[in-house]
Chains A and B, each alone.
Chain A
Amino acid sequence: GAGVSQSPSNKVTEKGKDVELRCDPISGHTALYWYRQSLGQGLEFLIYFQGNSAPDKSGLPSDRFSAERTGGSVSTLTIQRTQQEDSAVYLCASSPQGADTDTQYFGPGTRLTVL
């Protein structure tokens, strides 16, 4: 079956512009995660969705960042008024139920460059 897909694969934008990043999780997976990875660094948790529960937004770095998950499937991460420090690879992952023992399946990521 299809894995996690993300679009666009690359996004170059100017400082101050808004961007939207899309994630299509594996069908049937109830848990969806967004992470940010700067060059050569580890994964920084951003936000977590589980079914119809309120999302865990504890990792969002500022109020310029927001995310939605419509219909329990597709998710969109929005960054408003982008800054150069937002440049990173944004990774989306899904897991069957969000359990501690579940494997997270990662998408290929969106490489965001803010000029």
Chain B
Amino acid sequence: GQSLEQPSEVTAVEGAIVQINCTYQTSGFYGLSWYQQHDGGAPTFLSYNGLDGLEETGRFSSFLSRSDSYGYLLLQELQMKDSASYFCAVPRGQNFVFGPGTRLSVLP
């Protein structure tokens, strides 16, 4: 089966850099995705790592180390609008397992 672990909460100030970690235990691995969800909103896709290394998309980057069963989402130049919950997810067969989510609070 699959299980994912994330910190429940992270707090940072505007302009800072924050890293949200995700560790996983899976029976087989096919990639790690990240989704953002604002309060009351729907999750939206941020990034996908199918291979080890860093994927960069603007202010957001995602990293994967399959040998360590570990990944992270890196948010740079934090803005107030980045306050949201962030979920990592892994494929399980034809569907997906989501982590419990990390609530990011960005302070002025």
Chain A residues near B (Cβ < 8 Å):
4, 31, 33, 35, 41-45, 48, 50, 56, 58-59, 91, 93, 98, 100-101, 103-109
Contact = CB atoms under 8 A, between A and B. Distances in A.
Given A100-B91, A107-B42, 6 more contacts: A42-B98, A43-B87, A43-B98, A59-B95, A101-B50, A109-B42
Interface in B54-108: 87, 89, 91-101
A106 B100 contact: no
A91 B89 CA distance: 15
B19 interface: no
Nearest to A91: B42
Given A100-B31, A101-B31, A101-B50, A42 B87 contact: yes
Contacts, number: 55
B7 to A, nearest CB: 13
Contact of A101 (B41, B43, B48): B48
A91 B41 CA distance: 10
Contact of A56 (B31, B50, B93): B93
Contacts of A45: 92, 95-98
Nearest to B41: A108
A109 B82 CA distance: 21
6 contacts: A4-B42, A56-B93, A56-B95, A93-B43, A100-B91, A104-B35
B51 to A, nearest CB: 11
B73 to A, nearest CB: 15
Contact of B42 (A56, A58, A59, A108): A108
A56 B92 CA distance: 11
B95 A33 contact: yes
